[in-house]
A = this chain, B = another copy of it.
């Protein structure tokens, strides 16, 4: 039984957003995305994969399709397959996001 603690896994870099792996299986990737203020994951697309975002810490601006919204701790959204999606930490504090992508691209 594999147990992970988000506070032990999360890490930050002044260079760029950090993607910290939690679980990787045949079906999914589960990661923490860790952003310093101003860092981004540029908008991109997965033709057949969906991505769930859940904000664990801080807040940031999430883009899905042609819409952008600020999400704070405790808020969640989903990027449908084929939809452009990205994240920018537009706040002045760190942002930590739990992500699950499935199926694997």
A29 → chain B, closest Cβ, in Å? 11
Say yes or no: B4 contacts A30, CB within 8 Å.
no
Copies of this chain, complex-wide, total: 2
**Residues from 1 to 31 in A contacting B, C-beta threshold 8 Å:** 1-7, 22-23, 25, 27-28, 30
Contact sample, A vs B, 28 pairs, CB 8 Å cutoff: A1-B64, A1-B65, A1-B67, A1-B69, A2-B78, A3-B75, A3-B77, A4-B76, A4-B77, A5-B74, A5-B76, A6-B74, A6-B76, A23-B52, A23-B76, A25-B50, A25-B80, A27-B50, A27-B102, A28-B50, A28-B100, A30-B52, A30-B76, A30-B78, A54-B98, A56-B74, A76-B98, A103-B103
